[in-house]
Chains A and B, each alone.
Chain A
Amino acid sequence: MFTTLHLAIIAPFFIAIVVPILYKYFPRTHTGWFVLFVPILLFLYFLRFIPETSNGNTYHAVFDWIPSLGIQFTAYVDGLGLLFALLITGIGSLVVLYSIYYLSKEQEALNRFYVFLLMFMGAMLGVVLSDNLLVLYVFWEVTSISSFLLISYWYERDKSRYGAMKSLLITVVGGFAMLVGFILLYQMTGTFSIQTMIQSVDDFTEHALFLPTMLCILLGAFTKSAQFPFHIWLPDAMEAPTPVSAYLHSATMVKAGIYLVARLSPIFAISGEWLWLVAGFGITTLFWGSFNAVRQTDLKGILAFSTVSQLGMILSMLGVGALALHFDGIDNNVYIGATAAALFHLMNHATFKGSLFMMVGIVDHETGTRDIRRLGGLMTIMPITFTIAVIGSFSMAGLPPFNGFLSKEMFFTAMVDVASFQQFNMDTFGVLFPVVAWVASVFTFIYSMMLVFKTFGGKLQLGQLEKKPHEAPFGMLLSPIILISLVIVFGFFPNILAYTVIEPAMASILPSLLRNGEHFLVDIYFWHGWTVELFMTMGVVLIGTVLYLTLRKWKSIYSLFPKHLSFNHLYDTTITRGESLSAKVTGMYMTGSVKHYLIYILTFFSIFLLYVLFSTDAFALNTDHLAPISMYEWLLAIVLALSAIAIMFAKNRLATLIILGVSGYSVALFFVTLRAPDLALTQLVIETVSVVMFLLGFYHLPEIAENFKKARFQVKNFIISFLVGFTVTVIGISASSTRLFESIADFFPKASYDEAGGNNMVNVILVDFRGFDTLFEILVLTIASIGIFVVIKLRLNEKEER
């Protein structure tokens, strides 16, 4: 049944159809205003589900799409899906509002922009609210495609096209692996419905396909969420307009992979490999992203690597949260805190990263540059933007009293707890987690400070800027202000999220821990007492400040890393090498010479046929029913064989013609001895005409004869042709030695006269029993003669000789 929920998911697609019409007929209004009401209405619609999900209820609606294949568009709303749906529509509304002021009505093709954006929004809603894996995959690929279109929005720029191509290639490769994983899951469980799988999860954890399935799906999730080493597409995707970067590449699309990991946690998270892969890749990405963010000079570059690193952080927390499954129930289960932290940080990251991107967009819009080497001293000129930047960055760095502080504390708690887990080598290697997490946080602190103080602190360099800077219009500031207020609100009152959003989402991620009627209790508060996490944060601030102030001295360590070992270089060389290699391989066998192609075809068929013949033991030689050979036949056979072989060596055209005639006539004589009078007649006539034809050919092409003479005996060609001849002989002998069933030869003597009234059986077959053959054979001759006429007469090219 098609429900309102289905309509809500695909509503953006319907509106996207109308957008170009609105754009054309209301040229005075910014198209964004028409689009704005879509995410707002959807946001309000999804808000209504909160009371339901926080009571532990879920909503489920099935619409048959391809029932014969068991593919249903099942909309499923639970805590996790709702959290993402609210993020998508909420941030979506703010981004649309921001884009109205950011994109100029006169200069930009707004119709394209909003069509792509709505496409993306609908696809993203579909990803998070589908219960059917194949439907999820369809929407997943639409997010890849719409992201590709949005990155290359300014398609006249080289870098946009490069970035779009790169992101498409990487995410689609991952998406394909994910599809393979989904199909393997179907093989194991017999269903595409995620919820049905979760209910029967114990049945297939020991399945042989379990690990391959997990790897395939994780590859999809990691490429989409820009995890190490697939993060390289995200910094290049910054060529997109800033609203797109804020929406897709910080708040929503890159979290699709995280959504997938969280959604499938109930299926896979019990295994140790999942824990190590998710947490390990997450923590590596966290470190690598924050480490590389410090070296960037472009504001969006910093934010891109920062997004990479924060996504790694969320993922590592989700991985650690899987440890909770190894305990019974939720009492005294410290590891469920990691899952809560992951979800909380997911929300926090969406708020502060969205506002930071919008802030960067404003700076870019008002000064004309995003290069931190040219920016500085904007504090007094753009006070509101500066405030946004300070709050966003401090929250990102994990400083109190903002929400980033809370989630960072919870993150440290989770990382410290990991080291005390007793399974999967956690007690030995697990100690790496808090260490790496701490170091990465130091770098996070450094680049967050760079973001604020290199842009707004220091000296104003008016000569370096393209425009004279001034504060942005209020409309542009509105969205980041709303987001930054959320940063503060979530910072001071984190528990408004806990009951409404985080607890139901945790119930979706860790369903097996809950007994009947239970629900998770998440209580986030500022003051934990003098715990180890607090000292870790203090250390981050202390060391971070020192390192930030001495940045110039140690920045040279980045140049130590050889450029040709970077992942971008690897990607580029893979693409170019792949292209040149395939061109080389194709060039090697596609020579353009007909002769070479014939050699491939003939050699393949001969070897294949001989192999099959001998490997299946099909070669047979049965001498029982052989017909006797008369003297004449021996003689004819020798003449025919000799004449055929002689033509290979013939260099004289007269000799060639004579040999041709001799072989043709001896075939005709064979027909005579084998009692086929009609064949013999036809063969004699046709051979005569053929010889005349070749004679004409030689006459009209005198130089061909010259070239003809030069032909030398080719040993290689002879070997191939000998192979072909041998194959034919062997197959001919085996075929005539094996008789599978009686032939219908006896039918014709009986029926020819009685049914068709003719004495000549061959002719009766040709015109009565199998008259169609003859009809079309006549057609062939007709076409050949018309073809010959046309080839000779038609001269389309006037310059050609007559």
Chain B
Amino acid sequence: MEILMSVIAGILFMVGTYLILSKNMIRIVLGTNFISHGAHILILTMAGLKTGAPPLLGLEATNYTDPLPQALILTAIVISFGVTAFFLVLGYRTYKVTGTDNTDGLRGPDSYD
């Protein structure tokens, strides 16, 4: 299971990187979304995927899954959502101001003197 999850995380990273390397701003934001999915899955996998009860004490089980990575991922999801939202709006505003969504067209001046 851990190997499968690692492969899945690798695929998500691959897709995310591929999207980030494109010229289109929306694709770049999509890419960050996929990379965060990959990271979340990786965190969960690293703690070991031993089956146990969900981390709720009311269930009266003998062993539970590790709650710590879940807490970490929960934080990470919220943060990456905030960042994605901001990126999207930034892309929107950049498009409105510069009239392009092509990052190749968004270079600074050739020299600063």
Interface residues of chain A, those whose CB is within 8 Å of chain B, are 591-595, 598-599, 602, 621, 625-629, 633-634, 637, 640-641, 644-645, 647-648, 656, 660, 663-664, 667, 670-671, 674-679, 682-683, 686, 689-690, 693-694, 696-698, 700-701, 703-704, 707-708, 711, 714, 717-718, 720-722, 724-729, 732-733, 735-737, 739, 743-745, 748-749, 752-753, 758-762, 764-766, 770, 773-774, 777, 780-781, 783-785, 787-788, 791-792, 800-801
Contacts and interface: CB of A to CB of B under 8 A. Distances in A.
Contacts of A792: 89, 92-93
A711 B17 contact: no
Q: Please provide the 10 A-B residue pairs with the shortest distance between their CB atoms, ordered closest to farther.
A: A725-B14, A729-B10, A732-B6, A784-B82, A721-B17, A592-B107, A761-B67, A761-B55, A721-B18, A627-B1
Given A676-B65, A732-B45, A774-B75, A629 B1 contact: yes
A582 to B, nearest CB: 14
Given A648-B18, A749-B64, A784-B82, A679 B70 contact: yes
Contacts of A765: 67-68, 71
A679 B68 contact: no
Interface string B74-113: 1101110111111011111101110001111011101000
Residue from B3, B10, B24, B107 with most neighbouring chain A CB atoms (10 Å):
B10
Contacts of B34: 644, 647, 663
Contacts of A641: 7-8, 11
A654 B106 CA distance: 27
B97 A800 contact: yes
Contacts of A724: 13-14, 17
Contact of A721 (B3, B15, B53, B72): B15
B83 to A, nearest CB: 7
A647 B78 CA distance: 23
A728 B7 CA distance: 8
A393 to B, nearest CB: 49
Greatest chain A CB density within 10 A among B20, B21, B49, B54 is at B21
Contact of B22 (A686, A693, A717): A717
Nearest to B42: A732
B85 A647 contact: no
Contact of B93 (A598, A721, A760, A791): A791
Contacts of A729: 6-7, 9-10
Contacts of A664: 33, 37
Given A593-B107, A698-B26, A703-B101, A732 B9 contact: yes
**Chain B facing A: main interface SS:** helix
A736 B42 CA distance: 10
Nearest to B101: A704
Contact of B38 (A720, A728, A743): A728
17 contacts: A595-B21, A626-B1, A627-B50, A663-B37, A670-B41, A675-B55, A708-B24, A711-B24, A728-B42, A735-B46, A745-B47, A759-B56, A759-B58, A765-B67, A770-B71, A774-B75, A787-B86
Given A599-B21, A707-B24, A780-B82, A628 B66 contact: no
Contacts of B93: 791-792
Contacts of B17: 602, 717, 720-721, 724-725
B90 A791 contact: yes
A728 B13 contact: yes
Contacts of B40: 667
Given A626-B1, A682-B78, A707 B67 contact: no
A286 to B, nearest CB: 45
A667 B41 contact: yes
Contact of A633 (B1, B20, B45): B1
Contacts of A781: 78-79, 82
Contact of A694 (B74, B81, B88): B88
A538 to B, nearest CB: 63
Nearest to A718: B18
Contact of A660 (B33, B64, B103): B33
Contacts of A766: 71, 74-75
A698 B95 CA distance: 12
Given A675-B65, A736-B6, 20 more contacts: A592-B110, A599-B21, A628-B1, A640-B11, A640-B12, A647-B30, A648-B18, A674-B44, A700-B92, A708-B26, A732-B42, A732-B45, A760-B55, A761-B67, A762-B67, A762-B74, A777-B75, A784-B83, A787-B86, A792-B92
A171 to B, nearest CB: 28
A648 B11 CA distance: 11
B24 to A, nearest CB: 6
Nearest to B106: A594
A259 to B, nearest CB: 42
A773 B73 CA distance: 11
A725 B13 contact: yes
A678 B2 contact: no
A656 B33 CA distance: 13
A634 B30 CA distance: 25
Nearest to A705: B26
Contacts of A629: 1, 4
Interface residues of B toward A: which range?
35 or more
A720 B16 CA distance: 11
Contacts of A780: 78-79, 82-83
A382 to B, nearest CB: 50
Contacts of B11: 640-641, 644-645, 725
A167 to B, nearest CB: 26
Contacts of A753: 57
A801 B75 CA distance: 37
B102 to A, nearest CB: 6
A770 B93 CA distance: 36
Contacts of A693: 84-85, 88
B26 A697 contact: yes
A675 B67 contact: no
Interface string B18-32: 111111111101100
Contacts of B82: 780-781, 783-785
A599 B96 CA distance: 27
B54 A752 contact: no
A685 to B, nearest CB: 9
A678 B54 CA distance: 10
B4 A707 contact: no
A626 B3 CA distance: 8
Contacts of A621: 3
A591 B50 CA distance: 48
A773 B102 CA distance: 36
A599 B93 CA distance: 26
B21 A714 contact: yes
A637 B8 contact: yes
A739 B4 CA distance: 18
A777 B89 CA distance: 20
Contacts of B26: 694, 697-698, 701, 704, 708
B104 A656 contact: no
A720 B17 CA distance: 8
B103 to A, nearest CB: 5
B91 A697 contact: yes
A733 B8 CA distance: 11
Scoring B18, B19, B92, B110 by chain A CB atoms within 10 A of each residue's CB, the highest score goes to B18
A135 B99 CA distance: 61
Nearest to B34: A644
A773 B75 contact: yes
B54 A707 contact: no
Contacts of A703: 101
Contacts of B6: 728-729, 732-733, 736
Contacts of A689: 81
Contacts of A696: 88
B78 A777 contact: yes
